[in-house]
């Protein structure tokens, strides 16, 4: 229980944005607590078997983490490097635990050191708990990084949509409007499923509601962008057509900017009040 309290008090759960990562970290806390509470060893257990179990657990996580990174085709460049570095930290702290455990096994085999087995056991418990806390922090850091990269990929998609939205507004022919609008809708559909999953997974209900509102405004604004821009390219001399086009563009842009802010954990900009009437 001391280890559990130490982990929960030392870790900043404000960094955790989704229920999935929260559940994984609580599972880590349970696993670390269960392992450290096996000290001193229970009847029938050996120190070597405990070290082997720890090594197996760390290697399993490393294998799963490596497979997850390789299977994520969207993780590239800096994102890929950051995830890989975090996984290396998990490996290094795991090796530290393994080395410390095996050193104790070797030391405790001598008759001289067996005479101080109780003190050595207490020392190992303290060292082991510290190492497990470090290992927990490395794994938790990896999970949070992976989640932040998921956010970064959505934000990257939002940036593309903004660029395409600006392209529609700058269109000068009916065909340009059609082509650019189709590209924008395709980009929206590409991130839509990821956004939907994130909305369902967010820990903060206010963030869930805000993202849902933005998603609704964007969905209702897109047809308006298409219709008003087509009308403007037919009658560019008409001020009302220009105003309608610009208004529709600002509605969609406000929704995208608000989604961006929510995903980054920032305060959501106020959406235009008129957008809620669509």
Look at 17 and 193; give whichever has higher pLDDT.
Answer: 193
Q: What whole-number percentage of the chain has pLDDT above 90? A: 29
Domain spans of the chain, in order of start: 2-148, 170-277
Q: How far apart are the C-alpha atoms of 108 and 41, rounded to whole Å?
A: 14
Enter the DSSP assignment of 14: G
For residue range 83-132, what is the model confidence (pLDDT) as tens digits? 677 677 767 766 776 676 666 556 554 444 444 434 444 444 444 455 45
Same fold, 2-148 and 170-277: yes
User: Which tokens go with 52?
Assistant: 């082997």
202 beta partners: 18
**What is the reported pTM?**
0.60
Give, rounded to a whole angstrom, the gap between the first and last alpha carbons of the chain: 54
Query: Are the C-beta atoms of 222 and 252 separated by less than 8 Å?
Result: yes
Residue pLDDT, tens place only, 205-234: 888 899 999 999 999 999 999 999 999 999
Which of the four pLDDT bands, split at 50, 70 and 90, describes residue 159?
Answer: very high
Domain spanning 170-277, CATH class: mainly alpha
Task: Give 203 or 272, the one with higher predicted confidence.
Answer: 203
Question: What are the pLDDT digits (tens) for 172-198?
Answer: 999 999 999 999 999 999 888 888 888
Name the CATH superfamily for 2-148. Alpha-catenin/vinculin-like (1.20.120.230)
Query: What angle (nearest 5°) sits at the alpha carbon of residue 135, between those of residues 131 and 141?
Result: 145
Burial classification of residue 154, based on how many CB atoms lie within 10 Å of its CB (0-12 exposed, 13-18 middle, 19 or more buried): middle
**Taking phi first (over 0 means left), then psi (-120 to 50 degrees means alpha), and beta for anything else, what does residue 253 get?**
alpha
């Amino acid at each position: 229980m001391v280890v559990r309290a130490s982990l929960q008090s030392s870790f900043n759960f404000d960094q955790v944005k989704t229920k999935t990562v929260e559940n994984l970290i609580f599972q880590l806390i349970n696993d670390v607590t269960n392992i450290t509470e096996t000290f001193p060893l229970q009847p029938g257990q050996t120190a070597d078997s405990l070290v082997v179990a720890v090594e197996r657990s760390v290697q399993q996580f490393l294998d799963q983490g490596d497979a997850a990174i390789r299977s994520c085709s969207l993780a590239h460049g800096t994102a890929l490097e950051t995830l890989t570095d975090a996984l290396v930290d998990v490996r290094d702290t795991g090796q530290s635990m393994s080395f410390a455990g095996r050193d104790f096994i070797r030391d405790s085999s001598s008759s001289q050191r067996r005479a101080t087995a109780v003190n050595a056991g207490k020392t190992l418990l303290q060292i082991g708990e510290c190492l497990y806390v470090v290992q927990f922090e490395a794994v938790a850091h990896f999970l949070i990084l992976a989640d932040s990269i998921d956010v970064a990929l959505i934000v990257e998609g939002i940036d593309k949509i903004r660029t395409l939205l600006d392209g529609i507004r700058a269109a000068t022919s009916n065909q340009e409007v059609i082509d650019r609008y189709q590209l924008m809708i395709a980009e929206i559909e590409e991130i839509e499923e990821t956004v939907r999953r994130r909305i369902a997974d967010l820990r903060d209900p206010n963030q869930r509601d805000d993202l849902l509102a933005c998603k609704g405004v964007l969905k209702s604004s897109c047809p308006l962008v298409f219709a008003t821009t087509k009308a403007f390219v037919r009658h560019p001399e008409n001020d009302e057509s220009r105003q309608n086009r610009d208004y529709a563009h600002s509605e969609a842009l406000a929704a995208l900017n608000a989604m961006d802010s929510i995903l980054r954990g920032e305060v959501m900009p106020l959406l235009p009040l008129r957008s809620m009437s669509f």
